Amino acid sequence: AKNEKLRAEVTKVENAFSDYREKHEIRVGLVTELGQKTTKIARLTEDMKKLREELGALQLSMTPVEDEPEAAHGLSTRAELVKKIRVLGQDVLDGVKFGFDNIVDQLKVLNPKVELNTEGLSMLKRVENGQVVIPTEYAKWWRRKKKMSKRMARTRARATAKMVSNLFYSQNVGLRAITI
């Protein structure tokens, strides 16, 4: 009977030990997970701090400066800024072209007795060694422009031919209708 009592006691202690071991393993797992979560929170906190600093710097860089031109107000993305730069660049180019054409017209009016040769004249060309040349920085653009001009001329010629053909055909049909 004493043996059975001891066996029961051993079984009880073994069960308690097994239960304790399971709880200890769970506790170790939770402590490990807590350490990982704490590390992750610290990393995320640091990331958040950096992002807030970056946001502050971006907001500061978007703050209008005192002498900022009106054209730049309201631009908040790089794409908007690039688009605005292109528009302003085209406006400048159009203004320069207008001025160039205007001065050529003035020279023609002021010098009516002189035959002014304007063939090959361009606002983008310059004089080098006594010759009118296309600067290397404009050469690629100039070739593209000439190709487009030729293409546009061919397209206009085809459209004009078709229009004349249609006009002739419609007049011819009209004449037949009258003569019948």
Query: Looking at the whole model, is its pTM more than 0.85?
Result: no
pLDDT of 175 over the 50 cut: no
| Residue ranges per structural domain of the chain | 1-65, 72-121, 124-180
Which one, of 126, 158, 153, 156, lies nearest residue 142 by Cα?
126
pLDDT tens-digit series, residues 53-94 = 999 988 777 777 777 777 777 777 778 888 888 888 889 888
Task: Indicate whether 176 pLDDT > 50.
Answer: no
Q: In this structure, are residues 120 and 133 in contact, taking their beta carbons and an 8 Å threshold?
A: no
In angstroms, the CA 109 to CA 94 distance is 22
pLDDT at 126 over 90: no
Considering only residues 179 and 26, tell me which one the structure prediction assigns the higher pLDDT.
26
Looking at beta carbons, which pairs linking 95-103 to residues 24 or more positions away fall under 8 Å? 96/123, 97/123
